[in-house]
Amino acid sequence: MRAVLIDIDGVLTVSWRPLPGAVEALRAIRAAGLGIALVTNTTSRTRASIARTLADAGFAVRAEDILTAPAATAAHLAGARCALLNSGDVRVDLEGITLVDEEADGAVPDVVLVGGAGPEFGYAALNRAFGQLQRGARLVAMHRNLYWRTDAGLQLDAGAFVAGLEAAAGTEAEVTGKPSRAFFEAALGRLGAGPDEALMIGDDIESDVLAAQRLGITGVLVRTGKFLPEAVERADGSPDHVLDSFADLPGLLGLAQ
C-alpha cells in the first residue's frame, strides 16, 4: 500500500470529536510514509474549517489533505449557474460555480445542486427545486447519503430528499461526491497512486467501501459511525476487511504504534 483514503465522519470523529485511538492511528500511518487523503461527503464546512477542527482535536492534517464533495463538485460544474440547496456555507469551496437565487434576482439556474440536509430542506425550498427541475434544470447531488451519525444518534440526510426529487421530476441525479468514480479517481490522482496501491476505510458499506472496491481499491469497513449490521447484510457485496475501529488500521497494515 502507498496510499490510504480515509472517511472522516464516523471513522475519525463523531460530531467532530475524535474516536478512541484515531489520532494515534493516523500519526502511525503518516510516520510510515503512506500518502493520506481524507475523503468526505461533508457539505456543512469548508476544507479549511474541517482542517482547523481536526487539528484542534489533535489530528495532524492540513486543508490540502482533504477532498470534499463541494470541492469535487466545483471542478465538475465549473461555469454552471446553480441553485444551491444545502445546510452550511461552503461557497468558498464552490469557486468557479455561479450561485443564483431565482426568487431574489429572477436568474434561472442550469443546475439544482443539493448538498447536505438540514433545516433548510423545508417544503418551500424543495418545491422550488422541483419547479426548477420541471423547467429543465439538471439535478446534481454532492452525495446521496441517507443518514449520518451524530452524538444525538442517526440523523436523516440529503439522499432521502434527492430520491424524492428524482421520483417527482422524473429525472436522475448526477452524484459528484462518494460513491462516484470520479471522486475516488481525484483522490488517487492527488496521491499519485493506482487503485491497487490504495486502501479506503469508511463506515458506509455502499458509498465508502464497495464503491472503492469496484475501482480496485482495497476496502475496509469499520464498526463505528453509521455502521449497521443490517446494512452490511443487504449490501450487494462484501468488504475486503472489517475492523472494530480506525484505531485497528495500523495493525492491519503491519505498522508499529
CATH number for domain 3-41+178-253, candidates 3.40.50.880, 1.10.10.10, 3.40.50.1000, 3.30.1540.10: 3.40.50.1000
- What is the mean pLDDT of the segment spanning 44-62? 95
- What is the mean pLDDT of the segment spanning 232-253? 97
Q: How would you class 242 by CB atoms within 10 Å of its CB: exposed for 0-12, middle for 13-18, buried for 19 or more?
A: middle
Residue 7 is placed in which grid cell? 472517511
What is the architecture of the domain spanning 78-175?
3-Layer(aba) Sandwich (3.40)
Residues in the chain: 257
Residues forming CATH 3.40.50.1000 domain(s) in the chain = 3-41+178-253, 78-175
* Phi/psi at 206 (5° precision): -85, -60
Q: Which amino acid is at 203?
A: D
- What is the mean pLDDT of the segment spanning 121-141? 97
Tell me what pLDDT residue 179 has: 93
Per the CB < 8 A criterion, the answer to whether 31 and 6 are in contact is no
Gap between the terminal Cα atoms of the chain = 17
- What is the mean pLDDT of the segment spanning 223-239? 95
Task: Grade residue 149 by pLDDT with cuts at 50, 70 and 90.
Answer: confident
pLDDT at residue 143 greater than cutoff 80: yes
Tell me what pLDDT residue 117 has: 96
Per the CB < 8 A criterion, the answer to whether 241 and 219 are in contact is yes
Each residue's pLDDT tens digit, 94-127: 999 999 998 888 888 999 999 999 999 999 999 9
How far is 226 from 155, CA to CA, in rounded Å?
10
Distance of CA 233 to the CA centre of its chain: 22
> What's the Cα-to-Cα distance from 219 to each of 35, 83, 116, 201, 203, rounded to whole Å?
16, 35, 24, 6, 11
Tell me what pLDDT residue 100 has: 94
| pTM reported for the whole predicted model | 0.85
Task: Grade residue 257 by pLDDT with cuts at 50, 70 and 90.
Answer: low
